[in-house]
Amino acid sequence: MPQIARGSGRSTPPLSSQSSFEDLGTPLSDVTFVIVDLETTGGSPADAGITEIGAVKVRAGEVIAEFQTLVQPGVPVPAFIAVLTGITNSMLVDAPSLGAAIPAFLEFASGAVIVAHNAPYDVGFLKGACTRLGQAWPHPVVIDTARLARAVLQRDEVRDCKLGTLARHFNAATTPNHRALADARATVDVLHGLIARVGGLGVHSLEELATYTSRVSPAQRRKRHLAERVPDAPGVYLFRDEAGVALYVGKSQHLRSRVRTYFTASEKRTRMAEMVGLTARVDAIACATGLEAEVRELRLIAELSPRYNRRSRNPERSVWVKLTAEAFPRLSIVRQVRDDVDAGAAYLGPFGSRGPALEAIEALQAAIPLRTCTRPLSPRRTSPSCVLAEIGRCAAPCIGAVDVEGYSPVVEAARRALLDDVREVESVLLDRLRALAGELRYEEAALWRDRLEAFARGAARGQEIAALASMSELVAARPTADRGWEVHVIRHGRLAGATLVPPGIDPRPTVDALLASAQHVEAADGPVPSGLVEEATRILRWLESENVRLVPGGVDIAWSLPAHGAGGLLSRLVAARRADIVTIPETDRSLRPAG
């Protein structure tokens, strides 16, 4: 596979950068846990009716500190809650307010992993309290001992996963009694018991504990050593079988963490568990940027057709609408762009499927009277007419109503609409939309709006791709979070080079080195990129992202789109759809509702 050049501004992590197995995650012995339990007045977390907070901070199996406070909930404690917890309204009269208790707890738990039994309940109330107080929730890692117990323990061991049941099963020193600190202390022993159980199954890091599921078999977990040589960098990973055949290709901003999840985390896709069972090794390709990783993934899938990538059989499943090159051109749906543009062919798209392509054809033919019949027509012979010819919706070359010269204005109008000027299609279709809306025929108007939008979307995408494909060289840069730069060289719509420029240095020498080493790319035939169309689409998405700028001297010609192209029409249609109206209003007309 042709390689994407990488500049000298970034040192690529070696595949052996991981020094030990512990580097696969944060060892549990290094993790500080805060085990928390709440007593509440019931109701929803939005009410934040917290009456008591109890928490225990532990590390490496040892208790470091404890936290306990009653909380004035601001609402009466229901009688059945008072009976259950023993916390009465009189006990809470002088209790700290929510505004005092929550900041104190968050300070106690700062930087720690939160653990709770049925964590969604307790964490939900804590989040609700933060919302009520206008305080940001710190988004800690959360471990739910109830969920973990359901994944670890069998039904013949415990009849249920209630806290009291688990406390007895693990011989907890404290019996839970519906008071926050006692329940938190019991949960500490439950947590330690569960950690001991999963430790025997090969779970030794926080990341593995947080994602543990019994659906990952011991055999899968034993393969986690395959992640040892994977770098912690953006890039692409390839799962291979014993024969070295690629099974699956993926990408990630954090290769090591992502690959590790296949061996330790829940995977809902059953085919992925099967794939991991066949895996003998994992190869990783570190990339300079996220865009490079995306492009490499696309190319590898197209080249290797891994059987566990759903898109591998048809990496480019798009279709195009083609204005054919013949005596009397027509519109046709095709799978690829051929080298017949010089012969008069023109293309619209690509589209993700035939449905939008057919809608675009209907929009075009409503505005421009191209023939709709599919049979070849001869300038010297006539054929039976169709219904559209009889009602004046077609130029009717089939019956000799026009000759090749007379039909050519229709063809040129269609070619303009496809390539650089959508005004005629826009005008005709918007007039139709407004007429239908004026007659309150909103459903019919919405159908024609959808057809016009399908045409505009296909034309806009095709015009953007054609403009990018025409550029022999384009260099663009975007600042990184650490004030460096990610730089890409694009040639004829294909990513030819990528690099990172570290912060604080002059980027020009690095860019010059990248330009010198970037892949040479020849232009393709027609308005298509030299690489995959999807690759060009990803490049365009990156170029349109925030703060991207073109590097001076890196553009050989002006990069521009047609002044009357489809981009503006598409943006107006999308805005109208978001506003729930069926048409683009004229400047002197108010918006009409969609229904």
> Cα torsion at 334, 337, 340, 344 (round to 10°)?
70
How many residues does the structure list for the chain? 595
Same domain, 47 and 180: yes
Please report whether residue 100 resides in a domain: yes
Can you give the CATH number for the domain in which 163 is found? 3.30.420.10
Question: Of 409, 438, 454, which one is at a domain's C-terminal end?
Answer: 454
Three-state SS string over 208-241 comes to HHHCCCCCCCHHHHHHHHHHCCCCCCCEEEEEEC
Please report whether residue 134 resides in a domain: yes
**Do 54 and 72 touch, CB atoms closer than 8 A?**
no
Report pLDDT for 45: 81
Report pLDDT for 114: 96
Please report whether residue 381 resides in a domain: yes
Please report whether residue 489 resides in a domain: no
**Number of structural domains in the chain:** 2
Residues of the chain below pLDDT 70: 1-25, 48, 202, 213-221, 264-270, 311-316, 342, 375-402, 553-559, 581-595
Please report whether residue 377 resides in a domain: yes
**How far, in Å, CA of 245 to CA of 310, rounded?**
16
Continuous segment of H or E residues that includes residue 390: helix 387-390
Report pLDDT for 395: 61
pLDDT digits (tens, 9 = 90+) for 106-161: 999 999 999 999 999 999 999 999 999 999 999 999 999 999 998 888 888 999 99
Continuous segment of H or E residues that includes residue 489: strand 485-491
Question: Of 178, 203, 228, which one is at a domain's C-terminal end?
Answer: 203
Spacing of C-alpha 565 from chain mean position: 28
Same domain, 35 and 165: yes
Read off the tokens for 319.
């279709």
**How far, in Å, CA of 521 to CA of 489, rounded?**
11
**Residue-range definition of the domain harbouring residue 32:** 28-203
Report pLDDT for 555: 58
Please report whether residue 73 resides in a domain: yes
Please report whether residue 285 resides in a domain: no
Please report whether residue 124 resides in a domain: yes
Question: Of 203, 221, 246, which one is at a domain's C-terminal end?
Answer: 203
* 564 part of the active site: no
Catalytic residue among 178, 192, 254, 564: 178
Same domain, 40 and 180: yes
Same domain, 195 and 62: yes
